[in-house]
Amino acid sequence: FSPGLLVVAGSFAAFRLLNRGLERLVPPPPSARRNRWKTLGGSWGARGTAHHSQLLLRRFYLHPEMSKDLVGTHPPGAHSLVAVSVGYFLEDFVDMLCNQKLHQSWELLFHHSVVIVCFGIAVLLHQYVGFALVALLVEINSIFLHLRQILLMANLVHTTCYRLNSIVNLGTYVVFRIATLAWMTRWLFLNRQNVPPATYAVGTVGMAVMTPMNIILFYRLLRSDFLK
């Protein structure tokens, strides 16, 4: 039994309670009730990913040695940060199952399943925590991705704020999603001799799933916001 599982459970419960409390304090408007998961998920997702991003950048800045050893080296608190992230993805997974139709959310459910398995290995083994933190850099872009969803639901598409967010969203998408995933794939390939076969297989499958999904999403964003 790993104490990290307690952190995962606590994170799941905390985000669950936050969602319930937010729904009662600020009921969604009629135009957003059909997209209840997007309303709550976008609001808390923007806050959560912003907080995660600050913590991640601080970790890498204060502990540069972690970039040299992504398997066994991680600073105090990094393991808990990954465990909190697992709880967040679990809560979001359950929320989608309860409030979205399967044909509307299967891509995100699949994405979350891969993330939960990969991060769960890091939490249970207390290894590859640095690699998981690199993967979480992807969430920096999620701040602007969630903000885009909120602006869409508020019918603010034809505004300067939406246009500016679209530009920043695509820029951070290239830097923190596509480039980060490419670097992680390269790291896995170069360190394949130092990673156990089972873990290497999970990581390779994860990269094989995440990379095409993110490229497809990038094309959808580019087509929707710039090519129309």
Closest CA to 79 of 15, 142, 124: 124
Residue position matching structure tokens 């690699």:
131
Q: What φ, ψ does residue 71 adopt, rounded to 5°?
A: -95, -60
- Stated pTM of the model: 0.81
Closest CA to 72 of 195, 160, 172: 195
pLDDT of residue 162: 95
Say if residues 5 and 123 touch (Cβ distance below 8 Å).
yes
pLDDT of residue 116: 93
pLDDT of residue 42: 47
Closest CA to 12 of 137, 106, 99, 120: 120
Backbone CA torsion sign across 106, 221, 182, 147 = negative
Tokens of 81: 């940060």
User: Distance (Å, rounded) from C-alpha 102 to C-alpha 106?
Assistant: 5
Exposed, middle or buried by CB within 10 Å (0-12, 13-18, 19+), for 211?
middle
Q: What is the DSSP string of the chain?
A: --HHHHHHHHHHHHHHHHHHHHHHHSPPPGGGGGGHHHHHHHHHHHHHHHHHHHHHHHHHHH-GGGGG-TTT---TTHHHHHHHHHHHHHHHHHHHHHHS-HHHHHHHHHHHHHHHHHHHHHHHHT-SHHHHHHHHTTHHHHHHHHHHHHHHHTT-TTSHHHHHHHHHHHHHIIIIIIHHHHHHHHHHHHTGGGS-HHHHHHHHHHHHHHHHHHHHHHHHHHIIIII-
Residue position matching structure tokens 């094989």:
208
> What string of pLDDT tens digits covers the 228 residues of the chain?
578 899 999 989 998 888 788 777 766 656 555 555 555 554 455 455 555 555 665 665 556 666 667 787 777 778 888 898 899 889 889 988 888 888 878 888 898 899 999 999 999 988 898 888 888 888 888 889 888 988 888 889 999 999 999 999 999 999 999 999 999 999 999 988 888 999 999 999 999 989 999 999 999 999 999 987
